[in-house]
């Protein structure tokens, strides 16, 4: 079951570059694991913004919330979730 | 080069069910061709709405506009386009 | 798996009172069935608006879209869907 | 008499994790009591957001405001309230 | 128990002046009755708009919805309702 | 001449509870005086929000601005003002 | 006492050019009279839009509503009104 | 003096394809003349929308309004205008 | 050539009353000069808000930007500018 | 391939004038290089705002994101990007 998420990241003014870099390392590992498990199918950068669109394949809403709230940067993210259904014109 | 599009369809009140059905047949064929050519990579139904999110792989903006404005239902669509870049955390 | 939906109904100017009444009979039957099957857990009227909030218990997004797009008044509804997860403070 | 509330929580940057955890303990107890008293009928997590939808059964607006403003996290919440009436299609 | 409502009226293009005048007569009677019963405490015109703010004193949400949906012009109104509680600084 | 105002209060994170309590005492006195003078006709709490709707009876816009900008909490308020005219259906 | 109004005009599709021209003649006369009476102090076209900003000098809200609702094109106007007070930096 | 405009075109449902084609011919000629005169410096299609961004070089606001309101499709356009000043980082 | 501007002022929490008062003195002088030069034709307070509407008469966009960005409080202002053209119904 | 970007700059309250001036020097150099390379075709100041509209000519979305995220002030910018296609009425 697929969901599209848009995530916008806003770091507080007081966060040091070192902390930011540390978060980015953790995010890369967390996102990599989700992709290897097949639970994150795609992640793209929104051009010109500190934001992404990503696609999740999960069993239910609770699993999706666990994934999203588990992102290291979750406290600094504004996330909107769109539930997706099969489109009649999709050939997949 | 990838783009995410959201398309919302609104038919005029006067359109007959027959005309709508005819549009849907043409859309299916048009979308199918785009997918077989690899120019539309995904299309999903937004749950509860006469709308889709779809992902396009094109050479440039002119090709994308030609594809979008070529949809049989284009005059009845409200489309928003988001340019996508590679995300540093993508493993693809 | 639960979802909250808000549905706003707008009938076209040309629709007769008879047709509206007919739609309302069909809606009542459709909603009644969903409730008896346990797939619609609640439906409430938004005070002062031709709108409802309703709660669905479904297996996946495709089932939810089938339910929502099956409403007799679906072509006249503007629907927004919110996926719900278990809240840690719920005692249910 | 029922009301639907959506609550979005935003903690100030300076709040320590310890204080946050303390708030969460107090919220759990407060919400639990409201549910045991039958005044909060449901509470759900909005997927991907530090937010909930919750349903209240109260005698009047003053009781509802007392409940909402009594939440330990109230100063950090953005709340929108929707009054609900019985829906003609509800079988309850 | 008090509620504030804002009502915006939009008549369809096809409605004749005669029908509009007829609606206005019925509205005046309906509003007058609500005021004499003490259920509508105030009604004011929003300057420059075909809209009003009005204040209702009702026993519960169902009574309020019955009142609002009973307005002769209800099908042409866009209504937003705000539940009001006693303010600690009110001297009433 | 009547005006409806909605006031939303947002205190800065750094304000102490003591200062807030002090402001509330001053507000109560200020609001009480306006009501006793007949210049504030009503003040209600918006359920679930640190906000009020209030109704003013003043001679002109300058008097209204003087009243509003004189609130002790004015620097922390977001105020929207709606000019009200007599409604033809009002029986007052 | 001054008010700023913004008026946006939208004519229905069915209105003939002749009727539009007739409305414009009536508007010109109505606006001219208001200006000669000193009740409309300024009227400007918003560049690129069928809209104006205009400034009114009136005794009270009821007079302003009578003026605005008296415009020949009033049924086709969307009007927003902003009450103005004397600015401390104005040298007038 | 430069201005950026965004124009969104919406044709009424009743307009025939022939009339639309006729408008497009007239627009092409009108836009071409503006470009040849140096008053329209650029015009671009917004990808996926019946809309353009265009840049005007005019002597004053009245000239700009005359140009914009002179477009054959003006009655069907929704236009927003942004005044532009020289940017200190421009090397032109 | 006329422009309407709306300016909303928001001071940072840390600014002292002394600094604010100093800014207000400088603003008064700056605004006074613009009015004496005929470049600011009007300035009004928006009732209930730390905001103004003001009207500028300038030779071009660069002059307007220089005026607006020269306000002592400019770093704390949110400004929206509307270009104005002569209205056909103005008798000036 | 062209894109229009709007960039709004917001500096944190704590940033010193010296740091701001330093950023502006770096921006000027960065923007100048982009223009000399032909990758930024235009940059204009939005009148009355700390914002610009700028036009980019790039090979693909990844190049555009690299350019935008490389701006020295990027962490303080809010950027919206619009993909542009050739307009049929352009004579270029």
What does the buried/exposed string (b/e) look like for C16-28 if buried means 16 or more CB atoms within 10 Å of the residue's CB?
eeeeeeebeeebb
Q: Could you tell me the sign of the dihedral formed by the alpha carbons of C12, C13, C15, C16, in that order?
A: positive
With an 8 Å CB cutoff and a minimum of 3 pairs, decide whether chains J and B touch.
yes
pLDDT over 90 at H58, yes or no: yes
Q: What are phi and psi of I18, to 5 degrees?
A: -65, -45
Per-residue pLDDT tens over the stretch E49-88: 999 999 999 999 999 999 999 999 999 999 999 999 999 9
Residue E17 resides in a domain: yes
Say if the Cβ atoms of E83 and D64 lie within 8 Å.
Answer: yes
Greatest pairwise CA separation for chain J in angstroms: 49
With an 8 Å CB cutoff and a minimum of 3 pairs, decide whether chains I and G touch.
yes
Does residue E36 contact residue E91 with C-beta atoms inside 8 Å?
Answer: no
Shortest alpha-carbon distance between residue D25 and chain F (Å): 21
Say if the Cβ atoms of G2 and I44 lie within 8 Å.
Answer: yes
Instruction: Determine the average pLDDT of the residues in F39-56.
Output: 98
For residue J18, what pLDDT band results from cuts at 50, 70 and 90?
Answer: very high
Q: What are phi and psi of H42, to 5 degrees?
A: -155, 150
pLDDT of residue E62: 98
CA A34 to chain centre: 9
Flag whether residue G89 sits within 8 Å of chain I, measured between CB atoms: yes
Shortest alpha-carbon distance between residue I4 and chain J (Å): 11
Return the residue matching tokens 């949400």: E61
pLDDT of residue J79: 98
pLDDT over 90 at G42, yes or no: yes
pLDDT over 90 at H18, yes or no: yes
Q: What are phi and psi of C50, to 5 degrees?
A: -85, 75
Touching subunits of E (3+ CB pairs, under 8 Å) are C, D, F, G
Nearest to F90 among E4, E43, E83 (CB): E43
Residue F15 resides in a domain: yes
pLDDT of residue B84: 98
Residue A92 resides in a domain: no
Instruction: Determine the average pLDDT of the residues in A10-31.
Output: 96
Residue D61 resides in a domain: yes
pLDDT over 90 at A26, yes or no: yes
Flag whether residue F45 sits within 8 Å of chain D, measured between CB atoms: yes
Does residue J43 contact residue J54 with C-beta atoms inside 8 Å?
Answer: yes
Say if the Cβ atoms of D81 and F13 lie within 8 Å.
Answer: no
pLDDT of residue E33: 98
Shortest alpha-carbon distance between residue H41 and chain B (Å): 20
* Exposure of B92 in the CB half-sphere (CA atoms within 13 A): 10
Flag whether residue E18 sits within 8 Å of chain G, measured between CB atoms: no
Which chain B residue has its CA at the smallest distance from C5's CA? B48
Residue F91 resides in a domain: no
DSSP A56: E
pLDDT over 90 at J13, yes or no: no
Instruction: Determine the average pLDDT of the residues in A18-24.
Output: 97
Shortest alpha-carbon distance between residue I13 and chain G (Å): 23
What DSSP letter does each residue of C7-40 carry, written as one string? EEE---TT--HHHHHHHHHHHHHHHHHHHHTTSE
Which chain G residue has its CA at the smallest distance from F83's CA? G61
Flag whether residue E70 sits within 8 Å of chain C, measured between CB atoms: no
Q: What are phi and psi of I30, to 5 degrees?
A: -65, -45
Shortest alpha-carbon distance between residue G65 and chain E (Å): 5
pLDDT of residue H51: 98
Interface test with chain A among J65, J70, J76, J80, by most A beta carbons within 10 Å: J65
Say if the Cβ atoms of C64 and B47 lie within 8 Å.
Answer: yes
Instruction: Determine the average pLDDT of the residues in F26-38.
Output: 98
**Beta strand segments in G1-92, E:** 2-9, 40-46, 51-57, 77-86
Q: Mean pLDDT, 10 residues at a time, over chain I (92 residues)?
A: 98 94 98 98 98 98 98 98 98 93
Nearest to E14 among C13, C47, C49 (CB): C13
Residue G91 resides in a domain: no
pLDDT over 90 at B13, yes or no: no
Pairing of strands B51-57, A51-57: unpaired
pLDDT of residue G13: 87
Instruction: Determine the average pLDDT of the residues in B60-65.
Output: 98
H or E segment to which residue H52 belongs:
strand H51-57
Residue D90 resides in a domain: no
DSSP D50: S
Pairing of strands D77-86, A51-57: unpaired
Interface test with chain F among D15, D71, D81, D84, by most F beta carbons within 10 Å: D81
Looking at the 3D structure of chain C, how many domains does it have? Answer: 1
Shortest alpha-carbon distance between residue A83 and chain D (Å): 11
Flag whether residue D90 sits within 8 Å of chain F, measured between CB atoms: no
Q: What are phi and psi of E47, to 5 degrees?
A: -60, 125
Residue C63 resides in a domain: yes
Per-residue pLDDT tens over the stretch J49-91: 999 999 999 999 999 999 999 999 999 999 999 999 999 999 9
CATH number for the domain including I76? 3.30.70.1060
Instruction: Determine the average pLDDT of the residues in B70-79.
Output: 98
Say if the Cβ atoms of D79 and F45 lie within 8 Å.
Answer: no
F contacts of G84 (beta carbons < 8 Å): 61
Mean pLDDT for chain B? Answer: 97
DSSP I39: S
How far is G73 from G62, CA to CA, in rounded Å? 19
* Contacts of residue A90, Cβ cutoff 8 Å, sequence gap at least 6: B31, B35, B42, B43, B44
Shortest alpha-carbon distance between residue B85 and chain C (Å): 28
Q: Based on DSSP, count helices (H) and strands (E) in chain D, helices before strands.
A: 2, 4
Flag whether residue I69 sits within 8 Å of chain H, measured between CB atoms: no
* Contacts of residue G81, Cβ cutoff 8 Å, sequence gap at least 6: E47, E48, F83, G3, G4, G5, G64, G68
Give SS3 for J64. Answer: helix
F contacts of D51 (beta carbons < 8 Å): none
C contacts of D88 (beta carbons < 8 Å): 24, 28, 45
Say if the Cβ atoms of A84 and B31 lie within 8 Å.
Answer: no
Flag whether residue C80 sits within 8 Å of chain B, measured between CB atoms: yes
Flag whether residue I65 sits within 8 Å of chain H, measured between CB atoms: yes
Segments forming the whole domain that contains residue C10: 2-84
Say if the Cβ atoms of I61 and J47 lie within 8 Å.
Answer: yes
* Pick from A2, A1, A27, A4: nearest CA to A80: A4
Flag whether residue D12 sits within 8 Å of chain F, measured between CB atoms: yes
Flag whether residue I85 sits within 8 Å of chain H, measured between CB atoms: yes
């Amino acid at each position: 079951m697929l969901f599209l998420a848009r995530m916008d990241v806003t770091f507080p003014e007081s966060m040091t570059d070192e902390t930011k870099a540390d978060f980015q390392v953790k995010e890369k590992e967390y996102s990599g694991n989700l992709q290897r498990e097949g639970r994150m199918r795609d992640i793209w950068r929104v051009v010109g913004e500190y934001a992404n669109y990503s696609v999740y394949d999960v069993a239910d809403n609770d699993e999706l919330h666990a994934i999203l709230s588990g992102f290291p940067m979750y406290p600094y993210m504004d996330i909107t979730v769109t539930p997706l259904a099969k489109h009649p014109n999709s050939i997949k």
